[in-house]
Amino acid sequence: MITTKNILIVDDDIDLLEQTSLTMKAEGYRVATAQSQEQAEETLLEFIPDLAIIDLMMEHMDSGFALCHHIKKLYPEVPVIMLTAVAAATGIDFAARQDGSASWMKADVLLDKPARPEQLRGEVRRLMRI
């Protein structure tokens, strides 16, 4: 099935940004990329995503949370996958994954970085019901 769905990918790590972009383009998605929260917010003025994949920590430690909140405020139905290297960087598992009451976190899915391409493709399909 050919899709014309839009995906916004935001990450300050250019290598991961390009890798994720190539993975999604290979699946037939239209992709817009940004390297910061600010750049992503500007992109959202002209590009309406069907799904967003965003990094948790970018220019500020809470950039991913703030961007996720911004996306959900503009487009409440758009699923957000948040990527994080918190566990790898600190050795501590991110508690929001374990606490079912973490309603403060607006992301629909939280994945460890780097996410395996097949895992990311599966989550994207599931969230967009493809």
Q: Is the dihedral of CA 112, 116, 117, 120 positive or negative?
A: negative
φ, ψ (nearest 5 deg) of residue 44: -65, -15
Structural domains of the chain in order of their starting residue, each with its CATH number: 6-52+62-113+122-127 (3.40.50.2300)
φ, ψ (nearest 5 deg) of residue 76: -55, -30
Q: Please check the confidence at residue 80 and state whether its pLDDT lies above 70.
A: yes
Lowest average pLDDT, out of 6-10, 22-26, 58-62, 66-70, goes to 58-62
Residue given tokens 């993975």 in the structure block: 23
What value does the mean pLDDT take over residues 96-120? Answer: 73
* Residue 61: band (very low, low, confident or very high) from pLDDT cuts 50, 70, 90: confident
Helices and strands, counts by H and E, the chain: 5, 5
